[in-house]
Structure 1
């Protein structure tokens, strides 16, 4: 049968070679060199499937062993295929096949995979490269396969990727030796540092830091040390033998006006616990002032010697607020119970209250501390505004019922509600002019706890329960805005008057009347949903109050209330807070982080986020008034420890007819899917689409994209409302 099949294939190898490979695969027969020669005769369109059959045959024959007999000839074939990169699917199969080779027989297979790594932007290809490099390294005897190549001078980027993928100290050693070489450029050094930080052991990480300081201490910044710090935070691997190098770095005589050097030292001291640094910090404390001195005080929190305790206690009694705050913060980091009396003193002073609140929040992740804090606050009296700020901060951090009760009591917040009076209105308007910040106010407006966005739209983004605020500041005086927030039921805007309906079953329903529809009365409820009540089920109706909850703003300190009012007064009046007429996506959705979604993405690929997978759940998201997407509000996913955090968003566009859509987004840090299909972002500015509705999903690399950005839609496309 085999002879007959071979003869049949020989009659027309261009079209029949694939069937012969399938025949071998089904019968679990080993692929031969003669079989590989058929790639020269077969139609290139079937090469991808033929390669898949090669590595499937290996799995059928001996899944635990690499391909040894064909390693050299198959490597040559794959290298030839990799010269043709116009078919990404063929490239993917070539990389997978290369990963099945025996590196001990053909170490050239390493170069085969590295050639493919020059093709970037495809997450599936990147994963295949990562997997194949690990497989090849496992078949290389005694040391890493990376050692089989003597010269990496022209391939340092590929080397860094390979070290990250293989992730063993043997692989890291290749990078460490290059980092220690004075000939290496700064850019290449940074790439290798990031890779070694993933793969190296504690000794290798220490050698890397010493090499950085030895080369040029002035270039050692927090960003450059960050990969080493991230490694320590991830698995507690701290670089060894860095004490002398760190002291040498800290004691530089070069000016440090931006505090860059202190930032590095502070972070290292907290994570690596370098004991040799303590005496240098105490000495520097006596020769510095201002922010630099405060940073040194913060850094001393990493040490708990008698000398450090004595120094911090003295500083906590200083007449200078900044020193008291820094010393209390440092004591709280190492001896939190001892810091509580000091925190209570800071909470009494308006100048130090905000900083004290931050220290309290930093202590809430310890189970034993909230009850102690609650007891201390319960026995004290706090200024009302400081109590409001502290209560808000505690709630935002997750909440502590007993502590919140103590704060309300200490600040007498049950009696300290915002009540509109002529005097308060005048004072607030004056502060809006003198101290109000629309920038801070927009952040307050967007807080989930206030739910402003759920009820009000600004332009076409937001809820429909309350009036659209698009031109509030341009059409209303400040006194009207103050009254609308503090006494929302005093004057209800036309079209937003409410009804209270009593049904024949005794149910009371409050909502905005949308009119009668046939035999029913339609109401929009406070959650934005609409309901219809049968007319014959209505016992009684009467005018209702505003759907804005009573006391919604009582938790805001006066400055935050002023900032919120300033923002609302700026809407439609100041250019920076006027909705642009540009076609910007303002209403979209973002992917919720759940354990199910994270697990699903880790087991599959990012493509799943663009599918109809039931594990993917989305929530509404709005842009800021300037049209930019607030990245800080998006959940983050991490598929692999070496990959950056990623967020996902999606939005709809409509094509009135077949044509070309133009989607304007940043050029770096984004991947795209259109209607579930991966789409290069370079093609989004001239994207042919059929008429109808389409869904665009974007993944955001949070390491590359750190600033808010707008999404603009043009061409023949319009934004789907």
Structure 2
């Protein structure tokens, strides 16, 4: 009532609005929504936050405003949308959460227009995927055939949610013409999230296999997200010319490898191997605060674990999974399958960290089945390594935490970085204006940035960030713990 009266000071509004969204009923949320639609109802910052809180209420508590929701369209298209792109993208996510059919035509127009900015186009396609009305699904089918390759991949990912066989056929056609530099990851994820999705994709690829290099990229991504589905790994392995997954080593083989690790392993070369993108070690594991949080922190592992344990953990990751890293597999009412490590849970939601390190909020009401999964580090990842590379990698890990160059880093260095991908000319051709910094750096979407990590000793190898390219400017932001 105090909020509705208009007597609440602006500085006290954010916690009150958040509380209403977290606990309020449909009528309460309507009050917030009405203020969001009024250009002078909230400050710009609070307006965006209110949209996010309304989205959370819809996804976790299944509560939305009681009145007409069509007014949300003016935040998606029109003058207000043009002046605040961040609010526009947030409004698209809210429209998807509420499944507002009145917004779908605007989303279809944004998705189909090649002049739409990439981030906005992706948001529009994501919105169409969730709204899922017949016209939106037809738009996705058209985009999967005629748009640019990244948009085709995103459209296929959406189609996989309602027609897996058709999506698999389109995915095979896309991978047939893709290059090794194209990223098929999000498209592959869509199949991994569907029951028998990997098998359906494998069947389509068997009849129309990709080139060897593209198959290698797809296979590496598959392993990097903890998947080793036999049907798909076999088809991709055959196309890539890579042998099937090797069995775990025998005790005799393990002893021989450990002996070579101690006698011949080079930890400096091993660190370079550990940092390789195709192995994705740093996607899951961190060393000196640098890396992912899906798997165990490795800063001191060499000082506390013998070499045979380390080698066996690399070759047979399912042999000993610590309790806090045991994965859960959730089958959802939408038909999707989600695998990850449970961070925390209550009666309303489960917070799950997936293999990409993203925290996904799963409403308890959406969970149909829950089961224990395998290690997110798949069996057979080492088939991408030569024997010498395996020896060096194991030696590097076994040196972590021991006195010397790989001791636990106590220096105050920045270990975690973010790199702006594809910076515009306004940022690289000359010293950027403050307005360009606000627009392209401070106002950028999180997806515009790529994670990067320092070496154990604290240095950041810039040549790795160029990734074969020669940009004149790299734009970095450092992350540090206070």
Is the Cα–Cα contact under 8 Å of residues 270 and 302 in structure 1 kept in the other structure?
A: yes
Tell me: CA distance 1:361–1:221, structure 2 relative to 1, closer, same or farther (3 Å): farther
**2:146 alignment partner, SS class:** coil
Residues 1:322 and 1:368: Cα distance change in structure 2 (over 3 Å): closer
* Structure 2 SS opposite 1:260: helix
Distance in 2 (alpha carbons) for counterparts of 1:553 and 1:257: 50
Q: Tell me the equivalent position of 2:53.
A: 227
CA contact (8 A) 1:281 1:296 kept: yes
Say whether the 8 Å CA contact 1:465–1:526 is kept in structure 2.
Answer: no
Measured after TM superposition, the shift of residue 343 of structure 1 is 1.1
Paired residues of 2:52 and 2:90 also in contact (CA < 8 A): no
Residues 626, 317 of structure 1: CA spacing in aligned structure 2 closer, same or farther, 3 A cutoff? same
Residues 1:351 and 1:216: Cα distance change in structure 2 (over 3 Å)? farther
DSSP 3-state at the match of 1:347: helix
8 Å contact 1:580–1:626 — kept in the other structure? yes
- When residues 382 and 207 of structure 1 are mapped into structure 2, their CA distance, relative to the original with a 3 A threshold, is same
- Residue 307 of structure 1: how far off its partner (Å): 2.8
1:192 maps to which residue?
A: 16
1:185 & 1:337 partners in 2: Cα distance?
55
Is contact 1:232–1:238 with CA below 8 Å preserved after alignment? yes
User: Which whole-Å CA distance do the structure 1 matches of 2:191 and 2:199 have between them?
Assistant: 11
Deviations 1:346-404 (Å, cap 9, x if unpaired)? 22244487543322222323224232222223333223343333334334444323332
Unaligned runs of 5+ in 1: 1-176, 418-435, 467-523, 530-550, 569-576, 587-621, 629-706, 712-721
Separation in 2, partners of 1:438, 1:449: 10
Q: 1:254/1:396 Cα in 2 relative to 1: closer, same or farther (>3 Å)?
A: same
> Which residue in 2 is equivalent to 1:555?
384
Matched, 1:289 2:116: yes
Residue in 2 that maps onto 1:210: 34
* Distance in 1 separating the partners of 2:181 and 2:104: 30
- Alignment counterpart, residue 526 of structure 1, candidates 290, 293, 308: 308
Alignment pair present for 1:463 and 2:302: yes
TM-score, with length taken from structure 2: 0.51
Name which of 250, 254, 261 aligns with 2:76.
250
Q: Decide whether the 8 Å contact of 1:285 with 1:293 is kept in 2.
A: yes
Alpha-carbon distance change, 443 to 460 in structure 1, aligned in 2, over 3 angstroms: same
Choose 1 or 2 for highest CA Rg: 1
Distance in 1 separating the partners of 2:101 and 2:62: 17
Q: Name the residue aligned to 1:411.
A: 240
Q: Aligned-pair distance for 1:278?
A: 1.4
Residues 357 and 389 in structure 1, CA contact (< 8 A), matched pair in contact too: no
Displacement of 1:260 after TM fit? 0.9
Distance 1:368 1:527 in 2: 34
Partner of 2:282: 446
- Answer yes or no: is the 8 Å Cα contact 1:202–1:240 preserved in 2: yes
Question: Does the Cα contact within 8 Å between 2:176 and 2:211 map onto a contact in 1?
Answer: yes
User: 1:625 and 2:456 equivalent?
Assistant: yes
- Give the match for residue 497 of structure 1: none
1:239 is the counterpart of 2:69: no
* Contact residue 191 and residue 198 of structure 2 kept, 8 A: yes
Distance 1:351 1:303, change over 3 A: farther
Between the aligned partners of 1:352 and 1:239, the Cα distance in structure 2 is: 46
Closer/same/farther in 2, CA of residues 185 and 256 from structure 1, 3 Å limit: farther
Contact persistence 1:206–1:242 (CA under 8 A): no
Q: CA deviation at 1:578?
A: 12
Local SS of the residue matching 1:526: helix
> Any residues of structure 2 matched to 1:479-490 within 5 Å, and which?
none
Matches of 1:294 and 1:206 in 2, distance apart? 28
What is aligned with 2:427?
none
Q: Secondary structure at the match of 1:317?
A: helix
**Contact 1:196/1:205 (8 A) holds in 2:** yes
- Is this contact kept in 2: 1:246–1:265, CA < 8 A? yes
Q: Match for residue 317 of structure 1?
A: 145
Distance 1:329 1:459 in 2: 34
Partner of 1:274: 100
Counterpart of 2:25? 201
- Cα distance in 1 between the residues matched to 2:170 and 2:299: 49
Q: 2 CA distance for matches of 1:459 and 1:397?
A: 19
How many residue pairs were aligned? Answer: 307
Cα pair 2:223 2:381 within 8 Å, conserved = no
CA distance in 2, matches of 1:278, 1:318: 20
Shift of 1:273: 0.6
Deviations 1:588-635 (A, max 9, x none): xxxxxxxxxxxxxxxxxxxxxxxxxxxxxxxxxx9973679xxxxxxx
CA distance in 1, matches of 2:412, 2:46: 44
| Pairwise CA RMSD | 4.9
CA contact (8 A) 1:370 1:403 kept: yes
Paired with 1:234 and 1:389, the residues of 2 have a C-alpha distance of 35
Tell me, in whole angstroms, the C-alpha distance in 1 between the residues paired with 2:47 and 2:163. Answer: 30
SS of residue in 2 equivalent to 1:241 = coil
Q: CA deviation at 1:582?
A: 3.1
Change (3 A) 1:259 1:404: farther
Among 231, 242, 246, the alignment partner of 1:402 is 231
Q: 1:190 offset after TM fit, Å?
A: 1.7
- 1:294–1:322 contact (8 Å) kept in structure 2: no
C-alpha distance 297-624 of structure 1, shift in aligned 2 (>3 A): same
CA distance in 2, matches of 1:386, 1:442: 13
Does the 8 A contact of 1:313 with 1:327 survive in 2? yes
For 1:540-590, what per-residue CA distance to the aligned partner results, in whole angstroms no more than 9, with x for missing partners?
Answer: xxxxxxxxxxx965438xxxx9xx9xx99xxxxxxxx99967389x9xxxx
Deviations 1:500-540 (A, max 9, x none): xxxxxxxxxxxxxxxxxxxxxxxx642159xxxxxxxxxxx
Change (3 A) 1:408 1:250: same
2:163 equivalent among 324, 327, 335: 335
Within a 5 Å distance, the mapping from 1:121-160 to structure 2 comes to none
Task: Map 1:432-443 onto structure 2 (within 5 A).
Answer: none
